[in-house]
């Protein structure tokens, strides 16, 4: 938690040999590798026998976590221009791209007049406001878990901006950029 490690909850064993669900709502959760060994979550059996855990589902924010699949092709030289329509559960680039680990070798993003790259070039996070290039080494599908944003504001700078479309809905360019009417000269997709 924001105040340090704490017990989220306790489940009493009943010996029923049945699966049980338990939900712990943590309003002050913090995932910064703060436990021993750099962990964020620990399950302790309290010396009361073996635990059989089927699934641990951690959700950030409100609303149900969704997933969005984006097919990526290597046959076009490997470069794919991508944006994600969901606010990712984690914006850390390795987490956003976890579903295609080992199937890409570079990600590029244009920001404030220069390219930022991953790995090693200053690009550390990806979110729903960004459009970015990803170079894949084989055909694959990027699966991004996240929440549908209620609204998104994307700050723009004079000149070129690589932005994402934070929605699954298709709208005309004029509608999408209505708040920028008369303030842009060209749009590429």
The yes-or-no verdict on residue 48 having pLDDT over 80 is: no
DSSP string covering the chain, please?
Answer: -TTS----------------------TT---SS-SGGG-S-----TTSS-----------SSS--EEEEEEE-STTSSEEEE--SSEES--BHHHHTGGGTTSEEEEEEEETTEEEEETTBB--B--TTB-EEEEESS-EEEEEEEE--S-------SS---B----S----HHHHTGGGTTS-S----
pLDDT of residue 53: 80
Is residue 73's pLDDT more than 80? yes
User: Chain-wide mean pLDDT for the chain?
Assistant: 84
Mean pLDDT of 141-145: 92
Q: What average pLDDT does range 66-71 have in this prediction?
A: 89
């Amino acid at each position: 938690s924001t105040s340090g490690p704490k017990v989220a909850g306790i489940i009493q064993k009943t010996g029923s040999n049945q699966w049980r669900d338990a939900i712990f709502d943590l309003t002050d959760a913090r995932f910064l590798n703060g436990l021993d060994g750099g962990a964020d979550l620990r399950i302790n059996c309290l010396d009361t026998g073996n635990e059989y855990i089927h699934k641990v589902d951690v959700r950030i924010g409100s609303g149900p976590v969704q997933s969005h699949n984006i097919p990526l092709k290597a046959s076009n030289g490997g470069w794919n221009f991508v944006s994600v329509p969901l606010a990712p559960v984690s914006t850390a680039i390795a987490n956003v791209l976890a579903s295609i680990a080992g199937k890409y070798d570079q990600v590029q993003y244009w920001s404030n007049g220069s390219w930022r790259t991953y790995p090693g070039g200053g690009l550390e996070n990806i979110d729903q406001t960004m459009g970015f290039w990803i170079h894949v080494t084989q055909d694959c599908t990027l699966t991004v878990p996240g929440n549908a944003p209620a609204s998104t504001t994307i700050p723009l700078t004079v000149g070129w901006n690589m932005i994402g479309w934070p929605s699954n809905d298709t709208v005309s360019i004029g509608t999408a950029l209505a708040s920028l009417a008369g303030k842009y000269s060209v749009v590429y997709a």
